[in-house]
Structure 1
Amino acid sequence: MALLSPDHPLRFASFRSYLIGRVCAVLAQYGMMIVLGWQTYNIARETMGTQGAAAQLGLIGLAQFLPLFFLTPVTGWVADHFDRRKIVRFTLLLLVVGAGLLGLATYEGWVTLPLILLVAVLVGTARAFNGPAFGALAPNLVPKATLPRAIALSSVAGQSGMIIGPAMGGYAYAIAPWGAYALSAALFAVALLCMLTIGPVPQAPRDTSRHPIRQMIDGLSYVRQNRFLLATITLDLFAVLLAGATALLPIYARDILHVGSRGLGHLAAAPAVGAGLTALWFSFRPMQREVGVKMLIAVIVFGLATIVFGLTAFLPHDLAMEVALGSLLVLGCSDMVSVYVRSSLIQLHTPDEMRGRVGSLSQLTISASNELGEAESGFLAALIGPVAAIIAGGAGAIIITLAWSRLFPEIRLARSFDPPDIRPTGATHAISVSQVKETTT
């Protein structure tokens, strides 16, 4: 710690515990998600064929998304009105139970599609409450001046786990299917232990003057009225919803590239490597200028990489895997850039008393782009085939990004991360998001 500046987030013990817990929880969560899909596809393919199994992948994504969709107004309000540490601890305990149950069922041979679907619903419900509380907790653990760097670290940790987790799950499944679930359960348990070490933290006072339902609606109204937040949140929703290449990795690994579960691990690892390298770069050279334009470019590159991955189905076998890995590497890099910019801007420009509710809406769109994207990709693959589904999705992401750059000039005009109350003195040449709002009204 001697090399760190006095105001560095890692100087604070509670934030260190939080960061370790967040990495472990996200690794476990996304590692478990890829295993749920792979195991579902293998079980269903034996009795339903490729098209039926693809539709089952869609159902697994839908089972994880629906709890988030219906519970989002409640979970955001809960995160803003109750101890966020206790919410995170309880939901992590539920996730330990869910992963452990599937690990035991797989080990003893009584795992079934209905059981996987049931645990997928449990995971979605736990995540619905866990996400807003976990995300809103980070700003409560460090001084205000340290907040931008803390949010950046939290964002990088979360996104790294989102992309490294599937690779971890794929490799673990190749070694022992039950072990993949056991690993997720162990990581959830480590995250729980980390959260138990965090003492009481300050939180904005509860608003008891108005009805809870009215306060739940406030979160939606706040995002709807803030064009910048609305633009950044919905860009991820529609772009990544369409470009759901990773949801169809089991189909590509087994039936198109013919590389099996170990190859699935390689394919899932490629975005992780790209995200990790990008995160490492940001740790030494944090982004400071033209953040909005760079986010738009990153999403376009994400769509292009998705298209290239889809086209590997037409390449010779010895070349297809190399191109697939390269395209997924680029996909991971661009995804990290996009999420790093978006999540940092959203957290920095949302007041603490609204972070839970805004965070729940942001999580809903992220889940929609991931889990609902899995459902969309699975059902579309069953309808028109996995290759056409991936290529069409990548093209759709590009079209959405170009449209959003025109509909929401606030994104293009966002120059820096600095909110007005903690901007460096004399930094008059950088346009902050608050200034963008003034210039576009």
Structure 2
Amino acid sequence: MKRTSTAIFSQPGFRAFLMVRLAAMFAMQIQAIVVAWHMYDMTRHPLTLAYVGLAQFIPMVLLLLPAGDLLDRFDRRRILQISWSVSVLSSAALLWLALSETVDTWPYYVALFVFGCTRAFTGPAVQSLLPQIVAREHLAQAIATNSMIMKVAVIAGPLLGGLLYAAIGGWTFGVCLLGFAIGVFLLQWVPSVRIVRAVDDQTTAVSRFTAGIRFITSRPIILGAISLDLFAVLLGGVVALLPIYAAEILHVGPAGLGLLRSAIALGELGMGFYLSLRPLNARMGQRMFLAVAVFGVANLVFALSTWFWVSCAALFIAGAADMISVYIRSSLIQFATPDDMRGRVSAVNMLFIGSSNELGEFRAGVSATALGTVPAAVFGAVGTLLIVGLWTRLFRPLWTIDNNEQALPERQKHPA
């Protein structure tokens, strides 16, 4: 077991890839927590949090498909460098706005819109790079290890962000700027692997952009996994409501908000560590449905809790369940996708999953404005459980899939 567990670190560039992602993930997580608290503190209105999500969602929807096409046609590492360089500028704008103490919210939304543009490229770029660095026999374990290590940033980032904001206020955005800059610098040690791409330059742009959508919709297992995760996050996610819970229901302030965000990631980290040692490769479909159901129940407990540590425990369980779902979905997609399609398929995956986080924030903010904070959280959790029941009927191939090999393209199952 020990030899198998450490073999992936001998893959050229894997350790550098992890360091790059860790730096950028720290910056992203700190920025998310600081933006949410800072803007809610400015306005004390749930709709402000809704617009924070919407400002990042719109550019991702508009740019993800073209981004996927570019990633299958040009150097993925170079695109990632450019995107994170623009993220540096976005963080610099947020820093300037916070230090200038402007009371207008629209400049923040402009900076977040620019940041959403960069995420349209960085998300699928990162997903596309990993299979180029790690051999296929180590890919499932690499996904789990990568996810687990990234959760260190997802745990420590919000906690550090909350503490830093309580101590130094708007200067915390400077830490985000530094994290993205370090990621850009470290990328030079990640190998840029050239692969043979089956992208026909004579085809129309629309045809190339939509190739990823056609690929996914033609495979019920992949479509079911992505859409299940999409609606679970869209309906059941409570991250956007955490500033309200921290300020008005649990009364724990920005440091407590950081702990709530970190509780989710701590659950993900623990489960990611387990999966990195014992990767799943049996009854994967049933386990995914069970994980999403547990995610919904845990969020329902959080929605109704008025005790801080019960809320943290519920978020911990939700994070662990979400990690199982993410692990299975990521494994199935990576095994099912040919190298020349990874950019576009990753872009569609990001379109469904990544943007659902921001759209989910918008949904949560609007629901909290219309229904109240607790009813909005309860509504989302119950909706997640209803989706699980419906999807078991609509996507029977996903329910019955047993292992990753069943998701392989036919030409890889039966090589010539």
**TM-score (ref. length: structure 1):** 0.87
Q: Please give the root-mean-square deviation of Cα atoms over the aligned residues, in Å.
A: 2.2
Question: Structure 1 residue 19 and structure 2 residue 10: aligned?
Answer: no
Give the equivalent residue in structure 2 for 1:116: 108
Corresponding residue SS for 2:72: helix
Corresponding residue SS for 1:81: coil
Corresponding residue SS for 2:305: helix
Corresponding residue SS for 1:176: helix
Give the equivalent residue in structure 2 for 1:260: 253
Give the equivalent residue in structure 2 for 1:93: 85
Corresponding residue SS for 1:340: helix
Distance in 2, Cα, partners of 1:199 & 1:351: 19
More displaced 10-residue stretch of structure 1: 107-116 or 384-393: 107-116
**CA displacement, residues 30-53 of structure 1 (integer Å, 9 cap, x when unaligned):** 3212221111111112xxxxxxx1
Using the TM superposition, give the Cα deviation of residue 240 of structure 1 relative to its aligned residue in structure 2, in angstroms. 1.1
Written as runs of structure 1 = structure 2, the 5 A alignment for 1:228-307 is: 228-307=221-300
Give the equivalent residue in structure 2 for 1:380: 367
Written as runs of structure 1 = structure 2, the 5 A alignment for 1:156-167 is: 156-158=148-150, 161-162=153-154, 164-167=156-159
Where structure 1 has 5 or more consecutive residues not aligned to the other structure, the ranges are: 46-52, 314-319, 420-431
Using the TM superposition, give the Cα deviation of residue 373 of structure 1 relative to its aligned residue in structure 2, in angstroms. 0.2
More displaced 10-residue stretch of structure 1: 150-159 or 337-346: 150-159
Partner AA of 1:374 in structure 2: E
Give the equivalent residue in structure 2 for 1:139: 131
| Counterpart selection for 2:324 from 337, 350, 357 | 337
Give the equivalent residue in structure 1 for 2:160: 168
The structure-2 alpha-carbon separation of the partners of 1:168 and 1:292, relative to structure 1 and needing over 3 Å to count, comes to farther
Give the equivalent residue in structure 2 for 1:389: 376
Give the equivalent residue in structure 1 for 2:404: 417
Question: Structure 1 residue 223 and structure 2 residue 210: aligned?
Answer: no
Alignment check: 8 A CA contact 2:53 2:358 kept: yes
**CA displacement, residues 370-408 of structure 1 (integer Å, 9 cap, x when unaligned):** 100000000010000010000110000011011111110
Give the equivalent residue in structure 2 for 1:130: 122
Alignment check: 8 A CA contact 2:144 2:276 kept: no
Distance in 2, Cα, partners of 1:284 & 1:223: 29
Partner AA of 2:97 in structure 1: A
The structure-2 alpha-carbon separation of the partners of 1:6 and 1:384, relative to structure 1 and needing over 3 Å to count, comes to closer
The total of aligned residue pairs comes to 409
Alignment check: 8 A CA contact 1:31 1:168 kept: yes
The structure-2 alpha-carbon separation of the partners of 1:255 and 1:381, relative to structure 1 and needing over 3 Å to count, comes to same
Alignment check: 8 A CA contact 2:293 2:384 kept: yes
Partner AA of 1:42 in structure 2: D
Distance in 2, Cα, partners of 1:162 & 1:139: 22
Corresponding residue SS for 2:405: coil
Question: Structure 1 residue 321 and structure 2 residue 308: aligned?
Answer: yes
Alignment check: 8 A CA contact 2:158 2:259 kept: no
The structure-2 alpha-carbon separation of the partners of 1:354 and 1:70, relative to structure 1 and needing over 3 Å to count, comes to same
More displaced 10-residue stretch of structure 1: 235-244 or 22-31: 22-31
Distance in 2, Cα, partners of 1:162 & 1:269: 7
Written as runs of structure 1 = structure 2, the 5 A alignment for 1:142-153 is: 142-153=134-145
**CA displacement, residues 143-185 of structure 1 (integer Å, 9 cap, x when unaligned):** 3333333333334445654565433333332232224322222
Corresponding residue SS for 1:60: helix
Partner AA of 2:404 in structure 1: F
**TM-score (ref. length: structure 2):** 0.92
Give the equivalent residue in structure 2 for 1:195: 187
Distance in 1, Cα, partners of 2:163 & 2:405: 40
Alignment check: 8 A CA contact 2:42 2:103 kept: no
Corresponding residue SS for 1:166: helix
More displaced 10-residue stretch of structure 1: 151-160 or 176-185: 151-160
**CA displacement, residues 335-392 of structure 1 (integer Å, 9 cap, x when unaligned):** 1111111111111111111111111111111233210000000001000001000011
Using the TM superposition, give the Cα deviation of residue 250 of structure 1 relative to its aligned residue in structure 2, in angstroms. 0.4
Alignment check: 8 A CA contact 2:76 2:192 kept: no
